[in-house]
Amino acid sequence: MESRTKVLTALMAALGLWAALALMSVAAAPALAQGAGTAAPALAQGAGDAASAPGTSRERAAKTGTIRGTLTENAVVVKKVAGATVKIAGKTVKSTKAGRFVMKGVAPGQRQIVITSSKHLTYRSTLVVQAGANAVTVVLDLTALETYKRNFRAYSTRDYAISYQIIHPDVRAFYAYEQYVSYMKRVPDIVSYQIKKSRKLKSWRPTYLNKAYTNVWAITRVLRYHDASGYFNDDPLTTHWAQVEGRWYVLLNWRQAQQRVQG
């Protein structure tokens, strides 16, 4: 009898443990279900935040403009415009040796462009920038001093065709190319020059032309020559330069040049 009682007691204890485990499973199920339920909205919320976030860098770039520009010159002898400073809408770049520049991330709309260079007059204009690719070509005018320097190179190398083109059209009307070449052939070889002074005049009237010119640059220089007797300098001479459609031309005293040839 006593052994039967022990067996029943052990059986009831086992059943109680099973019931306890069953109750724990039932209680845990809602908790697990609740955890799964809250996790899904959290993931959905994360996806929603990503969708509403600002666009990618590629998308933002598509909303701005990229400007590819080429710089050239209004000159008798055109050269590449290297090292010029280009400013657009607060951004700044330098032109390459090939006279090109690229500026990215410019907001669309009307934007001011300013280009500066030691050899050129400052350029100012307005661009209409569109989203995406934009192309622009800018023509820069030389300074009077840079024009003089290029004229000296042609003058000293006896490139008569080029140096004659830098003579003012009003002078060329009286001074034929053949006369100019005849004069130049009598000039000794020019090896160097020195700029003594340059200044801008509001107005200047040459005695050999019945006309007044405005915004004239007066450049005083000394030339160094070489001939059979050796090297020598001439006296300081002031040349005057006036613009025609953005280009500088020398107002050469052709009458004086003819007198030298005849003499």
Q: For 107-124, what is the mean pLDDT?
A: 98
Beta bridge partners of 141: 74
161 pLDDT higher than 60: yes
Query: Exposed, middle or buried by CB within 10 Å (0-12, 13-18, 19+), for 224?
Result: middle
pTM of the model: 0.74
Task: Report the 10 Å Cβ neighbour count for 168.
Answer: 23
8 A C-beta contact, residue 225 and residue 191: yes
Q: What is the pLDDT of residue 260?
A: 63
Q: Which helix (H) or strand (E) holds 13?
A: helix 2-52
What is the Cα Rg of the chain in Å?
42
SS3 258: helix
Among residues 162, 238, 244, which one has the least CA distance to residue 206? 238
- C-alpha of 141 from chain center: 15
Give tens-digit pLDDT for 170-204. Answer: 999 999 999 999 999 999 999 999 999 999 999 99
* 59-141 CATH: 2.60.40.10
- The structural architecture, per CATH, of the domain 144-262 is Roll (3.10)
